[in-house]
Amino acid sequence: MYPSEYRYTKDHEWINIEGNFAIVGITDHAQNQLGDIVFVELPEGGSTFTIGDEFGTVESVKAVAEIFMPITGEIDSINEALEENPELVNERPHDDGWMVRIRYSDPSELEDLMDHEAYEAYVEEESK
């Protein structure tokens, strides 16, 4: 269910490293908890954030949730498709529903994140 090459945060973001870039989205568990997503607010390309910063919000029929940077870096591009089709986050959270592409600087920040097995266990523990 959770791609093995990704890393995961306790706030339910996933991050996938592709060379000098990191792709970030929210996990299937996160979209499931939120319910039908109706709006995704993302930052402008070029803006810079520190790890842990809020960089956008996801609005569903139930709630508005913040999304946090899993790594320090500059926003290279955002998933423009989400503006018209926020349901992509519900339907394909781990690929087409990606949110931002980040040019990152410090790969050591990834060390504190969970791998897919640890994340799965974390979700299970959290929903008890």
Partner 1 sequence: MNDFREFLLFERSRQGKVGCPMPALDVPEVELESSLPEMTRAELDVFPEISEVEVVRHFTRLSQWNFGIDQGMYPLGSCTMKHNPRINEAMAALAGLANAHPLAEDSQVQGCLGVIHELQSYLCEITGLPYCSTQPAAGAHGEFTGILLIKALLDKRGSKRSIVIVPDSAHGTNPATASLCGFDVKEVKSDKHGRVDMEHLASMVNDQTAGMMITNPNTLGIFETNIAEIAEILHAKGALLYMDGANMNALVGKTRPGDMGVDVIHLNLHKTFSTPHGGGGPGSGPICCTEELAPFLPTPRVTKDGNDIYAWSNDFPDSIGKVHGWYGQFGVLVRALTWILTLGKEGLVRHTEHAVLNNNYLRKMLAPHFDIPYPAETLHETVFTDKRQQAHGVSTMDIAKSLLDYGFHPPTVYFPLVVPGALMVEPTETESRGELNRFARALMDISNRAASDPQSVTSAPHTTQIQRADETIAARQPILRWQPKTS
Is residue 110 within 8 Å of 17, Cβ to Cβ?
Answer: yes
Q: Report in angstroms how near the CB of residue 63 gets to partner 1 at its nearest.
A: 6
Residue 98: Cβ-neighbour burial (10 angstroms; 0-12, 13-18, 19+): buried
Give 48's contacts (C-beta < 8 A, 6+ positions apart). 73, 74, 75
33 binds partner 1 (CB under 8 A): yes
118 binds partner 1 (CB under 8 A): no
Question: What is the rounded distance in angstroms from the CA atom of residue 6 to the CA atom of residue 4?
Answer: 6
Binding piece for partner 1, criterion CB under 8 A, among 5-13, 42-50, 63-71, 72-80: 63-71
Residue from 64, 81, 118, 121 binding partner 1 (CB under 8 A): 64
Is residue 23 within 8 Å of 98, Cβ to Cβ?
Answer: yes
Q: Report in angstroms how near the CB of residue 77 gets to partner 1 at its nearest.
A: 23
Which tokens sit at 79? 């998933």
Q: Report in angstroms how near the CB of residue 60 gets to partner 1 at its nearest.
A: 9
Which of 62, 124 has the CB closer to partner 1? 62
* Contacts to partner 1 by CB under 8 A: 33, 36, 38-39, 59, 61-65, 86-87
